[in-house]
Amino acid sequence: LLRHELEAVYGSSSYKIGRAVTWLPRHAARGLKYLLHNGPVVSVRYIVTYLKYRKIANKNYAYWACLQKKDYPEALKKWFLETNYTHTPLDLEHPKTFSEKTQWLKLYGGFEDVYPLVDKYTVRAWVKEKIGEEYLIPLLGVWDRFDEIDFDKLPDKFMLKTNHGAGWNIAVQDKSRFDKDDARRKMETWLKINYCYLMGGLDVQYIHIKPRIIAEKFIENDGGDLYDYKFFCFDGEPKIILHILERYTDKEERMIFYDTDWNLLPFNINVPLEQPDLPRPKNLDKMLEIARTLSQGFTAVRVDLYALNDGSIKFGEMTFTTESGISRWHPESANLYMGSLIHLPGVDDAPAQ
């Protein structure tokens, strides 16, 4: 009832007129408050950034791009309260859940320094050194601009992606039907945007990445599906496996959690639980070994791997802030359990007050 009443108010002519009349004083007051807090230099930079990106990014892009580090904690608390599905306050002094500890790590985990491992291009050299080139998806090219790409030299199938964000991919399965103009518009827009500022939430590991376009070989299994395994690792040890099915088919995507012995775990994120009867992967031990090697030295990181029907394993990516730490856990107790696996130095060691 309250929702319908609010919709009626917001849709009324008197409300719209009132908002229009008060637009200037409201924004003037907000601008003055921003100026007094941040000073003239940052305020001018905010205006310039807003005007530059307002047509290609969301309205909060300039806010995050101009945010000063001293304001990171309070800004993150506000974002977390508004964005996480439970709308609970963020406790940075005594974080307990996976969501809370992910936010703590954004601020104090040194994530700005791991950008070479988040960069989909530069991480390749690191993976090659750690586990060998055979685990890399073959690289077809790297470019600074879309118009530098010579598509005549690319195969009929390939993956086109930017190196500095998540989800900025174009799967080309038939080059003869590839809409190059649409791809150009998307890629050139993505190249202009800093992924950290676009999403909010201070995923600071993306801030310093130089934007590029890369093309990789299109990998697939017979039948079309690709076996995607995401290993949640804590202090260099894989503990939890998220198996994603039907990711590259026309069926609904499925997510299933297992422990490292391939026992089904009674929780999920974003989608309801299910009870599948899936066999243990033949190369699970090898994938665990790879995840263990790549996660050494990190408090918490997710190592993504693909398993192919021919027995080979391919590296996907390193993820330090899964869904920016605001996944919807089913049940919510799983959020607390996953948080218990993260040991924050100086926080979890602190004596109880």
Do 247 and 323 belong together in one domain?
yes
Domain count across the chain: 3
76 assigned to some structural domain: no
pLDDT beyond 70 at 297: yes
228 assigned to some structural domain: yes
**Beta-carbon contacts of residue 303 (< 8 Å; ≥ 6 apart):** 230, 231, 233, 238, 290, 291, 294, 295, 318, 319
Of 46-60, 139-153, 305-319, 331-345, minimum mean pLDDT range: 46-60
Q: Could you report the per-residue pLDDT of 8-58, keeping only the tens digit for each?
A: 767 788 878 877 878 777 767 777 777 777 788 888 888 888 889 888 888
For the purposes of burial, counting CB atoms within 10 Å of the CB of 3, is it exposed (0-12), middle (13-18) or buried (19 or more)? exposed
Q: Could you report the per-residue pLDDT of 139-157, keeping only the tens digit for each?
A: 999 999 999 999 999 999 9
Do 233 and 207 belong together in one domain?
no
| Per-residue confidence (pLDDT) for residue 44, from 0 to 100 | 84
Average pLDDT, the chain: 90
The whole model's pTM is what? 0.87
121 assigned to some structural domain: no
Q: Could you report the per-residue pLDDT of 60-111, keeping only the tens digit for each?
A: 999 999 999 999 999 999 999 999 888 899 999 999 999 999 999 999 999 9
Do 164 and 232 belong together in one domain?
no
Do 338 and 243 belong together in one domain?
yes
Do 211 and 237 belong together in one domain?
no
Do 212 and 267 belong together in one domain?
no
pLDDT beyond 50 at 1: no
Which domain does 50 fall in, by range? 2-66
**Beta-carbon contacts of residue 16 (< 8 Å; ≥ 6 apart):** none
| Per-residue confidence (pLDDT) for residue 222, from 0 to 100 | 72
74 assigned to some structural domain: no
* Mean pLDDT in residue range 222-226: 69
What is the percent of the chain with per-residue pLDDT over 90, rounded to a whole number? 68
Do 91 and 61 belong together in one domain?
no
Do 243 and 167 belong together in one domain?
no
pLDDT beyond 80 at 122: yes
Do 166 and 101 belong together in one domain?
no
Q: Could you report the per-residue pLDDT of 234-256, keeping only the tens digit for each?
A: 999 999 999 988 666 566 678 89
Q: Could you report the per-residue pLDDT of 168-185, keeping only the tens digit for each?
A: 999 999 999 999 999 999
Q: Could you report the per-residue pLDDT of 259-272, keeping only the tens digit for each?
A: 999 999 999 887 76
260 assigned to some structural domain: yes
Do 246 and 316 belong together in one domain?
yes
Do 204 and 251 belong together in one domain?
no
71 assigned to some structural domain: no
pLDDT beyond 60 at 352: no
* Mean pLDDT in residue range 340-349: 90
77 assigned to some structural domain: no
| Per-residue confidence (pLDDT) for residue 249, from 0 to 100 | 58
117 assigned to some structural domain: no
Do 228 and 211 belong together in one domain?
no
